[in-house]
Structure 1
Amino acid sequence: MPTTLTVAAVQFEMREVDGFAAFARQVRRLLDRTDDAQLVVLPELFTAALFTARPGWRDEPPSALGRIADYTDDYAALFTESARTRDQVIVAGSHLVRAPDGEGVLNTAFVFFPDGSVSRHVKTHIFPAESGWGTREGDVLAPFPVGPVTVGVSVCYETEIPEVSTILARQGAELIVSPSYTFTEAGFWRVRHCAQARAIENQVYVVHCPTTGNPGAPLSPGWARASVLSPCDSGFAADGVLAEAATNTEDVITARLDLDLLHENRRTGAATTHGDRRRRSGLYRRYAEALLPRA
């Protein structure tokens, strides 16, 4: 019996909403299109749509985005229920939550499990523009199991930092999910190209799931084309693209990942980067200071 995992990427479109109930209806309609998936991924900060439920939101400065943290309890309840009733693991994109000490916000990816448990990943490398929202960085990289598969989370700009995926892969990650929210086409391609590179160099699957939509200022538009990516090698699509969404429109894509094929590729593929990177670890130690300079 082959080891497989069916994943779905939900390319969520931000729209103006009159309250959390409207947002939740949109989420549920999209989740209804993921019935075959064991793991569902939503985009980074797709909850920014909730900013539009505030009276006078168009007159707010971009720095006010952190106020979506007011909806954290409603957001958590929605996805806790959805994971349980749908019997799915849901990476509910990311959401801004208030830091425990009350200073600033944390861009946090929540993972909801059918048994009611929840894990969190705080984005470790914030995009420069995020500093204007008072966003602080996390310090933990820890993959989690989904059945027999080990999954890591790398939120948007983290995917552009190779060390993040390397650490996750060294901890056993076979799949890396990358919720993202990019404001321009150039930003989208930075993350997309880096996601493909992370799949190749670590010999892992990557789910890149961006936010789309343009409710208007002060919210930035989202440029999106979700994809499920693999190494570019025999047994996979030549371009490494297993599934791809429509551009800049709400969409859901699904792919069945073959983990046996992935592990065979690590052993016998044309480019065995997963093992070769470990094989030359002695070389890297010689340049440790250059690789990991003191801040």
Structure 2
Amino acid sequence: MSNLLTVAAVQFEMREVDGFDTFAAQTRGLLDRTDGAELVVLPELFTAALFTARPGWRDDPVSELGRIADYTDDYGALFQELASSRGQVIVAGSHLVRAPDGDGVHNTAFVFFPDGTVVRHIKTHIFPAESGWGTTEGSVLAPFRVGSVTVGVSICYETEIPEVATVLTRKGADLIVSPSYTFTEAGFWRVRHCAQARAIENQVYVVHCPTTGDPGAPLSPGRGRSSVLGPCDAGFAPNGVLAEAAPDTEDIITARLDLDLLHENRRTGAATTHSDRRRRASVYRHYAGELLAGA
């Protein structure tokens, strides 16, 4: 019997809200459309919609985006309850969380499990614009398990950094989830093209899930089109796109991933990049000094 995992990407649309309850109701309604999925992925910083809950928010500078960290406890309680009641593993996008030392905020992906377990991943490479929000970077890349499937998290700009996916795949990842929040069409395509490249070069599945919507300034609009991607090879869609959402609007996509097919592709595919990258490790070691120069 095939080793299968059903995944859903929730393409969340940011809207002006009058409080956390309104945000939670929108979230619950969307997850009600993911029945049958074992793993659900939401976008990067979709919780930015909570910035609009304060009266007069349009006059506030975007540098105050970190105040959404005030909702961290409510956010955590919501998704712990949803993961438990729905029996799903939920990658609840990412959210800004105050750093333990009080120095800025971390762009943190939370993974909620039905048994109450919570895994966190702090974004290791922040997009240049994030520095204006007081965001600081993490330094840990650690996949987690959903049943027999090993999953890694690569938040938006991390997907544009090949080393992130390389480390996750070397640690066993079969699937990489990429929540994103891109402000322009060009930004969306940077992440999308890189997500497809990561799927090909590592022979993994990638779920790319962007935030959409435009509540208005000072928040930046969300642009994007969720997709589930795989290698471009026999047994997969020729263009590597296994499922795709409507662009720039709220939508849900679901795909059933065949892990046996993926592992067979790594052994016998036309392009066995997963093993060939390791096969020439001696070449990379020769140039290690140049690769790490300035580190």
Q: Does the pair score TM above 0.5?
A: yes
Name 1:285's counterpart in structure 2: 285
- In the other structure, the counterpart of 1:104 is 104
Whole-angstrom CA distance in 2 between matches of 1:289 and 1:92: 38
Letter matched to residue 217 of structure 2: A
Structure 1 residue 291: Cα displacement: 1.7
Aligned match of 1:199? 199
Give the residue type in structure 2 aligned to 1:260: D
Q: TM-score, normalised by structure 2?
A: 1.00
Q: Partners in 2 of 1:259 and 1:23 — Cα distance?
A: 35
2:30 corresponds in structure 1 to: 30
In structure 2, the residue matched to 1:91 is 91
Offset, 1:292: 2.0
Within-5 A mapping of 1:183-222: 183-222=183-222
Equivalence map 1:18-167=2 (5 Å): 18-167=18-167
Instruction: Give unpaired runs (5+ residues) of structure 2.
Output: none
User: Given the alignment of the two structures, is residue 251 of structure 1 paired with residue 241 of structure 2, yes or no?
Assistant: no
The residue identity in structure 2 corresponding to 1:79 is F
The alignment partner of 2:33 has SS state of coil
For 2:223 and 2:115, the matched residues in 1 are separated by 34
Tell me the secondary structure at the aligned position of residue 207 of structure 2.
Answer: strand
Tell me the alpha carbon deviations over residues 203-240 of structure 1, each in whole angstroms, 9 at most, x when there is no partner.
00000000000000000000010000000000000000
Following TM superposition, by how much is the alpha carbon of 1:289 offset from its aligned partner in structure 2, in angstroms?
1.2
Q: Measure, in 2, the Cα distance between the counterparts of 1:197 and 1:283.
A: 21
- TM-superposed deviation, 1:30: 0.3
Please tell me the residue identity of whatever aligns with 2:179. P
Q: Secondary structure at the match of 1:242?
A: strand
Q: How many residues align?
A: 295
Partner Cα distance (2:65, 2:103) in 1: 15
Partner residue of 1:276? Answer: 276
SS of the residue 1:130 aligns to: helix
Give the distance between the partners of 1:34 and 1:228, measured in 2 at CA: 15
1:264 equivalent to 2:238? Answer: no
Question: Partner letter of residue 109 of structure 2?
Answer: A
- Secondary structure at the aligned position of 2:36 is classed as coil
- After TM superposition, give the deviation of residue 55 of structure 1 in Å: 1.2
Partner residue, 1:7 = 7
- How far does the alpha carbon of each residue in 1:237-258 deviate from its partner, in whole angstroms, 9 at most, with x for none? 0000000000111000000000
Return the letter of the residue paired with 2:256. Answer: R
Equivalent position of 1:227 in the other structure: 227
SS in 2 for 1:260: helix
Alpha-carbon offset, residue 126 of structure 1: 0.1
Counterpart AA for 1:72: T
Q: 1:32-58 deviations in whole A, cap 9, x for unaligned?
A: 000110000000000000000011100
Cα distance in 2 for residues equivalent to 1:174 and 1:228: 13
Q: What is the Cα deviation at residue 6 of structure 1?
A: 0.2
Question: In the TM superposition, what whole-angstrom CA distance separates every residue of 1:136-195 from its partner, at most 9, and x where no partner exists?
Answer: 000000000000000000000000000000000000000000000000000000000000
SS of the residue 1:32 aligns to: helix
Look up the match of 2:168. Answer: 168
Structure 2 Cα separation of the partners of residues 196 and 36 of structure 1: 25
Identity %: 82
Secondary structure in 2 matching 1:169: helix
Partner Cα separation in structure 2 for residue 188 and residue 264 of structure 1: 31
Q: Which amino acid aligns with 1:247?
A: P
How far apart are residue 294 of structure 1 and its match?
Answer: 3.6
- Whichever residue aligns with residue 137 of structure 1, its letter is E
1:74-113 CA distance string (max 9 Å, x none):
0000000000000000000000000000010000000000
CA distance in structure 1 between the partners assigned to 2:18 and 2:48 by the alignment: 13
